[in-house]
Structure 1
Amino acid sequence: MIEIDNVHKSFGELEVIKGVSLQVQKGEVVSIIGGSGSGKSTLLMCINGLESIKSGSIRVDGTEVHAKSTDINKLRQRIGIVFQQWNAFPHLTVLENVMLAPRTVLGKSKAEAEALAVKQLTHVGLGDKLKVFPGKLSGGQQQRMAIARALAMSPDYMLFDEATSALDPQLVGEVLDTMRMLAEDGMTMILVTHEIRFARDVSDRVAFFRNGLVHEIGTPDQVIGNPQRPETADFLRSIN
């Protein structure tokens, strides 16, 4: 379980997260929606330990992410994250890119890492691209490779930060299909997304962020289908 308790985060004097509390249960899919600058992506960075917090706490299965005693690199092995764009190593094949972290971080043998990489690349529909170099992939295929790379670390949790926002519209569907498959597999996921229809389809809960706070949270039918806060309704109208 991921437990976020009264978290505050500032960049200089600008407070971007203003007391967020949220719990994500094992096997749950939670989508975070909201306008730019509302603190959504920053929260994911804080969960993964890529950003510090000013106050509050974030615990992953009881481990305090920001405690000095926490081995953050070991913890990150359990929390996969996929960004808007993932810069692959252009001189390595797709297979070699996905093998890299299991070998260097997990200490897997070449054979073990290759088996993991082939399994996950096949899982995301790239089993026929193993020997291809990343520059030959479409944007959607590159994002699916990024997902496979994260999955090759056998994470307990997956974080997606606007994973489709940098893609051409015709490529978005293939990445969303991969994310939907992970949700159906029971992966615990937190998605920052503007794909409202997708969020409604796959999420157990949806949180609307506004001005660094969870402004409204509930089931997709509640938050997207029948929002109770006028700001939530205004946001949904603005992107439809």
Structure 2
Amino acid sequence: MIEIENVRKSFGTLEVLKGINLSIEKGEVLCLIGGSGSGKSTLLQCINGLQSIQGGNIIVDGTNVHARDTNLNTLRQKLGIVFQQYNAFPHLTALENVALAPRVVKKQSRRDALDLAREHLDYVGLGSKADMKPSGLSGGQQQRLAIARALAMKPAYMLFDEVTSALDPELVGEVLDTLRKLKESGMTMIVVTHDVAFARESGDRVAFFDQGVICELGPARQVINDPKEERTRQFLQRVLH
């Protein structure tokens, strides 16, 4: 499980996380919603060790992410992360993009890495696009390629940072379908999303972030359909209408 204990994060004098406490159980899908700048994406980067923290602890399967003796490269093999930007290598095919990390990081043979890459491209519905360069793929396909690339490392947890925000509306569904498929497989996920309908239907719990704090946390349908906090209600009224 992932345990987040009183985590604080600042950029200069701006405190963006003000004592966050969360526990994410194995197999759970936690969706983080809230306005831009509320701290959601920063929290994901702190969980993955991409950002330092100024206070508190983040524990992943008993390992303190920010302890001095923690090997972040080893830890990140457990923590797949997918961003808004696809970040594929433009000179490599889809297959080569997915196979790269297993070959370089896990020292798999070329044949094993390519077999693994084909398996994960099939999983996200891109089996027929294996020999294409990223420039030949649509935005939704490039985002699914990014998911396949993260899954190829066989992580225990997946972190998604607004993975549909940069997509045209008609391409959003194919990426969300991949996330739903992952949920059905039992993958533990933390999903930062502006898609409130997805959070309600596919999230187990929802955390509403506001100005660096968790304003409301609870079962997904309860938080979105019947929020207890006035600030949550105001936010949802704005994004749902």
- Give, in whole Å, the separation in 1 of the partners of 2:110 and 2:58: 35
Instruction: Provide the residue aligned with 2:167 in structure 1.
Output: 167
Instruction: Provide the residue aligned with 2:39 in structure 1.
Output: 39
- Give, in whole Å, the separation in 2 of the partners of 1:25 and 1:237: 29
Deviation of 1:221 after TM superposition, in Å, equals 1.9
- Aligned-pair identity (%): 64
- Give, in whole Å, the separation in 1 of the partners of 2:166 and 2:149: 19
SS in 1 for 2:128: coil
Instruction: Provide the residue aligned with 2:192 in structure 1.
Output: 192
Instruction: Provide the residue aligned with 2:183 in structure 1.
Output: 183
Instruction: Provide the residue aligned with 1:28 in structure 2.
Output: 28
Matches within 5 A, 1:1-240: 1-240=1-240
The letter for the 2-side match of 1:181 is K
Q: What's the CA shift string for 1:150-189, capped at 9, x where partnerless?
A: 0000000000000000000010000000011000110000
- Give, in whole Å, the separation in 1 of the partners of 2:91 and 2:182: 29
SS in 2 for 1:56: strand
- Give, in whole Å, the separation in 1 of the partners of 2:200 and 2:134: 32
SS in 2 for 1:84: coil
Deviation of 1:115 after TM superposition, in Å, equals 1.1
SS in 2 for 1:149: helix
- Give, in whole Å, the separation in 1 of the partners of 2:79 and 2:117: 17
- For normalisation by structure 1, the TM-score amounts to 0.99
- Give, in whole Å, the separation in 2 of the partners of 1:90 and 1:63: 35
SS in 1 for 2:118: helix
Deviation of 1:89 after TM superposition, in Å, equals 1.1
The letter for the 2-side match of 1:29 is V
- Give, in whole Å, the separation in 1 of the partners of 2:90 and 2:39: 32
The letter for the 2-side match of 1:107 is K
Task: Give the conservation status (yes or no) of the 8 Å contact 2:201–2:221.
Answer: no
- Give, in whole Å, the separation in 1 of the partners of 2:221 and 2:127: 36
The letter for the 2-side match of 1:76 is R
- Give, in whole Å, the separation in 2 of the partners of 1:192 and 1:15: 19
Structure 1 vs Structure 2 CA RMSD: 0.5
The letter for the 2-side match of 1:31 is C
Deviation of 1:86 after TM superposition, in Å, equals 1.5
Deviation of 1:91 after TM superposition, in Å, equals 1.1
- Give, in whole Å, the separation in 1 of the partners of 2:9 and 2:91: 38
The letter for the 2-side match of 1:125 is G
- For normalisation by structure 2, the TM-score amounts to 0.99
- Give, in whole Å, the separation in 2 of the partners of 1:112 and 1:213: 44
- Give, in whole Å, the separation in 2 of the partners of 1:131 and 1:161: 27
SS in 1 for 2:74: helix
Deviation of 1:222 after TM superposition, in Å, equals 1.4
SS in 2 for 1:189: strand
SS in 2 for 1:128: helix
Deviation of 1:215 after TM superposition, in Å, equals 0.6
Deviation of 1:112 after TM superposition, in Å, equals 1.0
Task: Mark the runs of 5 or more structure 2 residues left unpaired by the alignment.
Answer: none
